[in-house]
Amino acid sequence: MLSDIIRTQKNELETKMLQNYVERDMPPEFPGDDLVKVIIGPRRSGKSCFGMKQISKSKKWAYVNFDDERLMGTDFDSIMDAINIVYGNPCAILFDEIQNMPSWELFINRMHRSGKKIYITGSNAHMLSTELATHLTGRYRQIIIFPFSYREFLRSLQHDEGTGRSGNRKSYENYLTCGGYPEIVMKNLNPSDYISTLVNAILYKDIVKRYKIRKAQMLENLFLYLMSNIAKEYTLNSLSKAVGINSVHTVEKFLSYLEQSFLCFSIRQFSYRIKSQLRLPRKVYAVDNSFATCIGVRFSPDFGRLCENLVAIVLKKMEIEGGLSFYYWKNNDGEEVDFVIKRGLKIDLLIQVCFSLDKSSTYEREIRALLKCGRDLQCDKMIILSDDVEKTETARWFGITGEIRHVPISKWLENNGQI
C-alpha cells in the first residue's frame, strides 16, 4: 500500500536524516512568507535535511521522497490520500526530488492554491526552473543548497563560528582537497569511493537515463576531462577534439546536462560586447572540490586551481541567489584576473586568487594584471586572496596606481565572501 511506503520513508527520515543536523547559512528572509519554497542543488548536498528542518517548525507536516521507484506510476491524489493516513491532513509538506514525476508542477500549483505550505526539492536546475516559470510565476521562492561552505564545514566539526584561521590549518587543507559533501564530513567516509558512486549515479540515472543518451561513455569522458582541467579555459571545439566527440552540438548538449545536474559550471570572459562574450573561451569549475580531486586526473595537487575553485563556488551561489554576476578577464597580452564581479551595471570588484605569493615573479604578475584590469574596467576595488597574506598596499606598475587589499583565502571563505 502507498501508506506503507510513506510510513517507511517517515521512519527513515526520523532515524537517519535529521541526526546531527548542521545548521545551514541561509538568507535572513527565508522562509518568512507563504510562497512555494523551491530548494535546488546537487544530489546529497543536504536539500532534504534543510527542507525538513523548515517544515518541522509547523505543527503538522509530511514528507514524501519521489526518488523511490515504488512511487513511479502512481497518481498524486492517491499519494495525498496516503499522506493523510500517515500524517493526518498536514499543513506543511516537503516533496523531495519531485521532478521525477510527470506534471508535478500542476499538482504543486493545486496544493499551493488549497492553502498548503509547500516545499519542494530538485537536482535538475533546468527542469525545475522551466516548469516553475510556466506554472508558478511569482508564487515561489528559490533557495540554493550546495555542499557545505567552509563556514558550515567548520560548524560541522564543532568549531565556533569565527574560529581563528591559524587554529584550523588542518581543517582548511582537508576542505580544500576533500570538499564539503555532508556525508563525507559527518561520517568520515572515504571521499574517493563516495564521490565515484555519487557521480556515477548522477551521470547514469539523472542524465543518461533521463535524456536517453546512447553515447554514455563520451559523456563520462567529457566530465572526466573537465574535472581534470578546472579553472582552465575551453571552447566547444577544444572539448570536441580533446574528448573525441565529432559533433560540437553534442558537446554543447552534454555540457548543459552536466551543468543542469549541478556537477560543474562555466563562466564567461568579460567583454562589454555580448557577442564577444559568447564566442570567447570560457572557464569551467566543479560544484565541489571533491569532484576535481576524486574524479579528475592529476599527478600532483594543484592547490592554486583548487583555491580558485573554492572562490568560484561561493560566487556561483551568490549569482544564483541574485546578488551578482561574475566573469574572468584576459587581455591581449595573456594577463588574467580570475574574477570580475558585476553588480547591476557596475563593475564592483576584482578578485585575484593565488595559493602562494612567495615568489616575486608570481607577486608581480598578479599585481600587474589587477592594476591593468582595474584601469581598463575603471574599477578601484581590488583584492588578492592568498594563503596567508593580510594587508592593504598601494601598488604601482608603469604609471598605474591602485590600492589592493590582501585577504587570506580561509578568512574570506569563513565569511562567505563578505569582506
User: In the β-sheet with 282-286, what is the strand arrangement from edge to edge?
Assistant: 233-234, 282-286, 264-268
225 part of a folded domain? no
Burial class (CB in 10 A: 0-12, 13-18, 19+), 129: middle
The boundaries of the domain holding residue 385 are: 325-414
Is residue 379, in this structure, part of any structural domain at all? yes
User: What's the whole-model pTM score?
Assistant: 0.92
- Number of independent structural domains in the chain: 2
Q: Is residue 235 part of a domain?
A: no
Whether residue 13 has pLDDT greater than 90: no
Q: What is the pLDDT of residues 168-218, one digit of tens each?
A: 788 999 999 999 999 999 988 999 999 999 999 999 989 999 899 998 999
Please identify, among 144, 162, 195, the residue that sits at the C-terminal boundary of a domain: 144
pLDDT band at residue 159 using 50, 70 and 90 as cut-offs: very low
Distance in angstroms between the alpha carbons of the first and the last residue of the chain: 54
Whether 301 maps to a domain, the answer reads no
Residue 401: pLDDT over 80: yes
**CA atoms of 38 and 122, how far apart (whole Å):** 8
* Exposure string for 46-74, b = 16+ CB within 10 A, e = fewer: bbbbbbbebbeeeeebbbbbbbeeebeee
Asked whether residue 240 is domain-assigned, the answer is no
Average pLDDT over the chain, rounded to an integer: 90
Place of cell 551578482: 324
Residue 364: inside a domain, yes or no? yes
Q: Which of 87, 118, 144 is the last residue of a domain?
A: 144
Residue 338: name the closest of 322, 358, 355, 320 by CA: 355
Residue 164 pLDDT exceeds 80 = no
| DSSP output for 344-399 | TTEEEEEEEE-S---SHHHHHHHHHHHHHHHHHHT---EEEEESS--EEEEEEETT
Is 315 contained in some domain? no
**Calpha distance 149→180 (Å, rounded):** 7
CA geometry: angle at 360 spanning 358 and 364, to 5°? Answer: 120
- Residue 262 placed within a domain: no
Check which CATH number belongs to the domain holding 18 and give it. 3.40.50.300
Rounded to the nearest 5 degrees, what angle is found at the Cα of 126, between the Cα atoms of 125 and 132?
A: 90
- Provide the pLDDT for residue 377: 96
> Of 107, 124, 144, which closes a domain?
144
Q: How many residues does the chain have?
A: 419
**Kind of pairing, strands 282-286 and 233-234?**
antiparallel
